[in-house]
Amino acid sequence: MTIFNIFTENIFSGWELDEKDVIEKTKKMLEYFVQHLASESCLNNQKYESLTLDIVFCDSEKTHELNREYRDKDKPADIITFAIFADDETRFIFDGDINLGEIVIALDKVIEGVNRDISFSKNKEQELFFLISHGLMHLLGFDHQDEEEYNFVIENQRKALECIEYDKI
């Protein structure tokens, strides 16, 4: 049984998250991905006992800064992922633990998207978990450069979201 170490930090003052709930739901989605997609992911043929990742909740000013600094894009983003394990060809495993990386989410963009009806989600909590599931896919090495990859990512996100009863959030 894989141990999931998920750490959160909320530096956005406009939304008091239940971080314990976020961690528990993220663990359920990650468990789904590991059970169903490990052989197609960066985890394929790896020996590990635990997976670790961080989720930082911030504002769009911070994602704008990160986007500019690390991705040469001069605009804010709702989510940015730093896929340490998937992007590193050496695939460093320390004491049986794989550090998958970090998901950074601009909570003001989440709220804005739902309020402007530019998301598929009914409320900010659904949108948040949709973005987290998307970030998890990236941390596991999945991308969406073409329509086939995009459909694969979205379909698997939907399945993972079912594990947390997304439609009831």
What is the per-residue pLDDT across 52-76, written as a single tens digit (0 to 9) for each?
999 999 999 999 999 999 999 999 9
Q: Return the pLDDT at 156.
A: 96
104-130 pLDDT, tens digit per residue, is 999 999 998 877 765 667 899 999 999
> What is the spatial distance between Cα 116 and Cα 33, in angstroms, rounded to a whole number?
30
* pLDDT band with cut points at 50, 70 and 90 for residue 89: confident
| Ramachandran area for residue 69 (φ above 0: left; ψ -120 to 50: alpha; else beta) | alpha
- 97, 49 contact by CB (below 8 A): yes
What pLDDT is stored for residue 90 in this prediction?
81
Spatial CB neighbours of 71, under 8 Å, sequence gap ≥ 6: 80
pLDDT at position 117 is 63
The 10s digit of each residue's pLDDT in 15-48 is 999 999 999 999 999 999 999 999 999 999 999 9
The pair of three-digit structure tokens given for residue 41, joined into one six-digit string: 């992911």
pTM over 0.85, yes/no: yes
How far from the centroid of its chain's Cα atoms is residue 5's Cα? Answer: 14
Q: Is 29 left (phi over 0), alpha (psi -120 to 50) or beta?
A: alpha
Domains detected in the chain: 3-168 (3.40.390.30)
Provide the pairing of β-strand 3-10 with 50-58: parallel
State the average pLDDT over residues 146-159. Answer: 94
Euclidean distance between CA atoms 39 and 135, whole angstroms:
18
Query: Residues 6 or more apart from 68 whose CB is under 8 A from it?
Result: 74
Q: How far apart are CA 1 and CA 12, in angstroms?
A: 34
pLDDT of residue 121: 78
pLDDT average, residue stretch 84-101: 92
